[in-house]
Every structure is written in structure tokens, then in C-alpha cells.
Amino acid sequence: MAALFKAGKALGLCVSGCRSLSSLAELPEMHQMMRQTCRDYADRELGPIAGKLDKEHLFPAQQVRELGAMGVMAVEVPEALGGAGMDYLAYSLAVEEISRGCGSTGCVVSVNNSLYIGPILKFGTQKQKEQWITPFTTGEKVGCFALSEPGNGSDAGAASTLARQEGEEWVLNGTKAWITNSWDASATVIFATTDKSLKHKGISAFLVPMPHPGLSLGKKEDKLGIRATSTANLILEDCRIPLGNMLGSRGSGFKIAMQTLDSGRIGIASQALGIAQAALDCAADYAHKRTAFGAPIGKLQAVQFKLADMAVAVESARLLTWKAAMLKDAKKPFTKEAAMAKLAASEAATFCGHQSIQVLGGMGYVTDMPAERHYRDARITEIYEGTSEIQRLVIAGQLLKEYAS
Amino acid sequence: YIVTIRVKPDHSGVVTDGVKHSMNPFCEIAVEEAVKLKEKKFIKEVVAVSCGPTQVTETIRTALAMGCDRGIHVEVSGKDYEAMGPLQIAKIFAALAKKEEASLVILGKQAIDDDCNQTGQMTAALLDWPQGTFASEVTIDGEKVKVVREIDGGLETIKISMPAVLTADLRLNTPRYATLPNIMKAKKKKIANMKPADLGVDMVSRVEVLRVDEPPTRLAGVKVETVDDLVAKLKANGTI
């Protein structure tokens, strides 16, 4: 076994249990194949319709089913539960490639995998996993994650949604805001306060099927980007669920939310990478074809500098994302790296979206070219699953811990 | 893949070094048909075969991820690979078909790089097996195969006995995307490695490529206002 490790490292291959820096340069064969399959799917099935999905705010139901059949809607879920049984690095690659084809579809994939299935896989009982994960691996059903409220986003500890016990049921009351997939979901992981006096240690997580009596949806938000996903409020009015629908132990909701978001950050970083790469592809292709001053504009240093800056931003964010995913797969702490990845990738996405329009000039401003859609899709990645400001706090917190004497 | 094909400076062929290769689209359709026949329980085992240098194993693995059971990589590289054409490949396939006691050999109708459309037909001739080429529909009926062929005049339906050679046309099926679990399973499937000599095949080519050129650059046209102008111009430049 030791000899295998040595040989693996020397050849830059990835032997299981031996994630070394060398594999950052060249992905293992299985991951390359998986990445290529997702890229082919994104190029052939998502790219051609992404503009239409965005313009008409259409949820890509058929594509989600096809992705489910491929295993992309449940990458990390063990095969016994209906998933693909792959690792987080594979998941990150899948989300990036899907997002490159369509940012909205990438978002649906990410939310289902990281935010809905993620916490149930980690904190659920075997029965809960079979009931709430398996039907959501095929793409027939998607889930959502309800933490934010009208009164608190970044301030997640101040959850004002309440849950009280009445006999054999929990009764939930309150409103959740900005819930992605809300109008298309068949279940939600939702956070409510069970013990107000314990502050953030009094929050618990629950599983609620959708639709369900006592749970209604607010109006679909009209968003700047990722318009093929539905975002709305979840309104709970004496919503009754069996006691067995509590996820994890009482009072562990905040911990569940924070750990879920840690992993979710890698998913969003991957989505941002896909959007950034699509913007870069668009700009680089245009630079070859568009002529001005007697030559393709790619010959002009001003354009070259932009493309170079975009490429560096994307590649460095990608390596941060891969590193965070590999640390998670190796069961090592990855909170700081995940936050760094999300911060870098989302800022790379908005940077590339902006510069891509600039390279295209007037063409970048109209809907004939996808540059304006990438610009709009990129913007949300700096906000949801932890704003860039929160990411900086997380990174600084982890960093200072390392230096504490 | 979208790649820009360039002719080599010495005009001996096109540049293939560093160009990303993928499975020939018609071969994808052939693999899909074979896997479908296995799923319908008409055939027991699907073996994916490819001839070429080491990189070819990636393509074989893609076939395994689509559902083939095992692969065979016939290693051909260097000068032999550059000179390799349909006849050499057909000889290899014929030898393998006999060795593996295959009931069907399914290929893409042609490769989209050289558009030869010869390998399937030559393989059948070397084996003295019936062939169903340009197949847009394949049905197995006992020991026979019903093949609907796309021909210039329309559709032709034939019934041939097995063992047989089939070549896949565009409308035969829509190839599946490899699922993630199947990509994982493909890792464990075996790819056997052999050389043409192991099969008693000589790779000497009977064809010598003299020169490869890019098609002439299309010249700008001229717009005319009336049909009379058009006729006048065509007369003036000697076309009519």
C-alpha cells in the first residue's frame, strides 16, 4: 500500500486516500470522464435553450429529469439510496460544467445536492434518508432550503419562525424569504425556533413536504438573473408535521445550517466558476472574430489584458474550489477554504461578466449575445449562501484562530 | 468537439498532435444500439474495440461507461497509425470477430474525419458475412436480423442471417449520456491490449497519400440586379 502511495504521487495520479497537490494539475481519469459528460450535456442540451429559459422564466423540468437520470442531481448520495456515489470534487466539476451551459440549471443542481440532500444525508436517520432523499435523486422531484427570513438573512441566529409541540405534531408558524426552487420543490429543509430563550442554540431543523396544508408560497420574485429558478417566500400558518420530521436533534438547527452552508459554498463557487468561464469563452471567441483597426480585436493589448485578467481570476478561483472540495473529501477541516473559494469564484464571476460585456462592446449589451445574461446571472453568487462580506468574516475568523497564541 | 483542422506544412496530412479526439458520432450510435440490444436481452455481451495509439483507451472507456462489458485496444502507433486505413482496420475487426465468436459486428457507417464508408463493408467481405449498412432500424428476429436501410431512393428493408455486420446511420437512435454511476463502474471493466501482429494482420497500406491541401478559399461573389445581367456576366467569363 505504501508503495502504491509513492507511485501514485510520483505519477501525479490520484490514488484513493492520497489527494495531493499533483492531482490539482491533472484530474483523475474518472473525474475527467465525468466532467466531459457534463460538458457535452451542457453544450448540447443547455446552451441552446439557456436564453429562452432566462427570457421566459421557465423551470428546466425536462433537463432536471435528464440530469437526474445521469446521477447529477444526487452526486454524493450513496448508490444504495439512488445517488451516483461520487465525491465532492466530482460534484464541483458537475456543477461548474452545468452552470457553464445554463446558470439557472446549475443553481437548481447545487441547491438540490448541497442544501436539500446535504443536511439530510449528514444528519438524517436511515428512514428519513430513504423517505426524503431517494425520491429526490431522479430529477423527478427537487428540494429547497429555507433559512432566511424577511427580518434576517446574514443574521441567521435571529430566526423568528417558531415551532411548538402539540401532542404528536410540530406546529410551525412564520415566514421564510428568498427560497430558491420554492415553486418547483416537493419538500423543504426548514429552520424554526423551538426554544426562544436558548437564542441560536434553540433553533431546530424540520422536513416539510410540499405542497402541505399550512404552507403556502408567496409571489415569484422577478429577479435580475438566474430567472429560470423560482424564488419566493414560504408562509407557514399552523403548518402541522409529525414529530418524526425533525432533522437532527432539538436545538441543533443552527449547527446544521452552518455546516450545510459550508459545503453549499463549494457548490455555489462551482456555479460561479461555470458562469465566469462562460463569460470568458464568449469574450475570447469574440476577440478572435471581431475586427477593428484592421485586425481581430484580440490583437489589441487592451483586450488581451482583460482576457488575461479574466483567465487568472477564473483559474485561481477554480484551484481554490478544487482544494476545498478535496479537503472535504479527505474529511479534513475546510471551512476557511470553502469561504475563500466562494468569495474568489463569485467575485471572479462578476468581474468576468462585467469585462466580457466590455470586450463585446455594444454587442455585449444586447440579448443577441449571452454576455448580458452571464453578467446578470453572476451577480447573485456574491449574495446567496453567505454574502461576500460574511465570507470575509468567516475567513478572518479562521485565520485569526490559526495565529492565536 | 469544435476544433480547427489545419493541414501539416509538408502537406502529408492534417495536424492531429494535441488535437482533442472523441468517439466518432456514428460509432456512438453503434455503441448505443449494441447496448440497447443487450438491455433487450438479444445479445449477451458487448465488446468495444478500437485501433490506434494509447489515447484510444479514453474512447473505449467512454463506450464502457455507456454500457459495454469489456474493451479491446488494438495498439497501432507511429507510421503504422498514419498509414492505417479501412482495409487494415477491417482485417483486424474480421480477425477479432472470429476470435471472439461474435454474432454481430456493429460499426458507425463512416468516420467523420475521412468519410471513407468502407470499413464495415470490407469487414463483412473478409468474413464472408451478410451486411446491413446505413441502418436506421435494427430488429432481431430469431437467427435473423431485419435491417431498414437509408438509401438514396428512400428506405430499403432487408433480412439477413447472423452472424452479420451492421453499420449505423444517423437516425438509428439517440446515444445516451454516460451516467455518473456507469462512469464509476467503467473503471472496473477490463480493456485487453493487443497488437495487429497478435491477430496475424499485416498493416502494410496499399494506398499512398500523395498530397493533402485545404480547399481553395472561397472568393467573394458579385451581386447582379437582373437575370439579364447574370446571363451577360456568365457569358463574359466563359461559363456559358
* B180–A34 CB contact, under 8 Å: yes
Q: Which CA distances in Å does A328 have to A54, A199, B197?
A: 33, 29, 48
Q: Which CA distances in Å does A164 have to A187, A203, A235, A236, A257?
A: 20, 11, 16, 13, 20
pTM reported for the whole predicted model: 0.86
The Cα A50–Cα A373 span in angstroms is: 9
Q: Which of A125-134, A154-163, A312-321, B163-172 has the lowest mean pLDDT?
A: A154-163
Intra-chain end-to-end CA distance of chain B, in Å:
42
Catalytic (active site) residue A385: yes
Query: Is A77 within 8 Å of A121 (Cβ atoms)?
Result: yes
Q: Give bridge partners of residue B156 from the DSSP assignment.
A: B149
Alpha-carbon gap: A73 to the closest alpha carbon of chain B (Å): 10
Cα B224 from chain centroid? 44
**Active-site residue identified among A26, A166, A385, A402:** A385
Q: What is the mean pLDDT of residues A314-328?
A: 97
* A33–B183 CB contact, under 8 Å: yes
Length, in residues, of chain B: 240
Q: Which residues of A touch B187 (CB under 8 A)?
A: 29-30
The interface pTM score, or ipTM, of the predicted complex is 0.77
Query: Is B165 within 8 Å of B124 (Cβ atoms)?
Result: yes
Q: What backbone phi and psi angles, to 5 degrees, belong to A134?
A: -50, -45
Cis check: omega of the bond before B163, within 30 degrees of 0:
yes
Specify burial of residue B79 (Cβ count, 10 A radius: 0-12, 13-18, 19+): exposed
pLDDT level of residue A24 (50, 70, 90 thresholds): low
Query: Is B131 within 8 Å of B145 (Cβ atoms)?
Result: no
Q: What is the mean pLDDT of residues A370-377?
A: 97
pLDDT of B35 strictly over 70: yes
Amino acid letter for position B148: V
Specify the pLDDT at position B2: 67
Specify the pLDDT at position B157: 97
pLDDT level of residue A25 (50, 70, 90 thresholds): low
Q: A81 at the B interface (CB within 8 A)?
A: no
The Cα A70–Cα B32 span in angstroms is: 15
Q: Which residue has the cell 463493408?
A: B121
The Cα A275–Cα A346 span in angstroms is: 9
The Cα B35–Cα B67 span in angstroms is: 6
Which three three-digit cell numbers place residue B147?
435491417
Return the residue of B nearest to A40 by Cα: B177
The Cα B75–Cα A343 span in angstroms is: 47
Cα A53 from chain centroid? 19
* B180–A94 CB contact, under 8 Å: yes
pLDDT in tens, B165-215: 999 999 999 999 999 999 989 989 999 999 999 999 999 888 888 999 988
Q: Helices A47-55 and A371-379, interaxial angle, to 10°?
A: 70
Torsion of CA B80, B84, B88, B94, to 10 degrees: 100
Q: Which CA distances in Å does B120 have to A302, B81, B123, B202?
A: 53, 19, 5, 18
Using DSSP, state whether A5 is helix, strand or coil: helix
Specify the pLDDT at position B240: 83
CB < 8 Å & 24+ apart, contacts of B21-26: B21/B55, B21/B58, B21/B59, B22/B59, B23/B59, B23/B62, B23/B63, B24/B108, B24/B111, B24/B112, B24/B113, B25/B108, B25/B112, B26/B107, B26/B108, B26/B109, B26/B110, B26/B111, B26/B112, B26/B167, B26/B168, B26/B169, B26/B170
Q: Which residue has the cell 491477430?
A: B199
Alpha-carbon gap: A284 to the closest alpha carbon of chain B (Å): 15
Specify the pLDDT at position A11: 36
pLDDT in tens, A218-243: 999 999 999 999 999 999 999 999 99
Residue B193: its H or E element: strand B191-194
